[in-house]
Amino acid sequence: MGFLTSIIEALARFVQRHPLTTLFIVVLALIAPALLRGIALFVLWLVFGLLVLVVAGALFFRWRIRAVQREMERQFGEGFGPRPGSGFGSRFAGGAPGGAAGGREGEVKVHRTPGAPDKRVSSDVGDYVDFEETEE
- Does residue 95 contact residue 101 with C-beta atoms inside 8 Å? yes
Name which residue leads in pLDDT, 105 or 127. Answer: 105
Please count the other Cβ atoms lying within 10 Å of the Cβ belonging to residue 123. Answer: 6
Please count the other Cβ atoms lying within 10 Å of the Cβ belonging to residue 15. Answer: 14
How high does pLDDT run on average in the chain?
79
pLDDT score of 110 more than 50: yes
Q: Dump pLDDT digits (tens) for 24-53.
A: 888 888 888 888 888 889 989 999 999 999
What pLDDT does 1 receive?
73
pLDDT score of 99 more than 50: no
Please tell me what DSSP assigns to residue 52.
Answer: H
What pLDDT does 16 receive?
93
Return the top range by mean pLDDT from 47-61, 66-80, 111-125: 47-61
Name which residue leads in pLDDT, 121 or 70. Answer: 70
From residue 94, give the alpha-carbon distance in Å to each of 55, 72, 85, 98, 133. 51, 28, 12, 12, 36
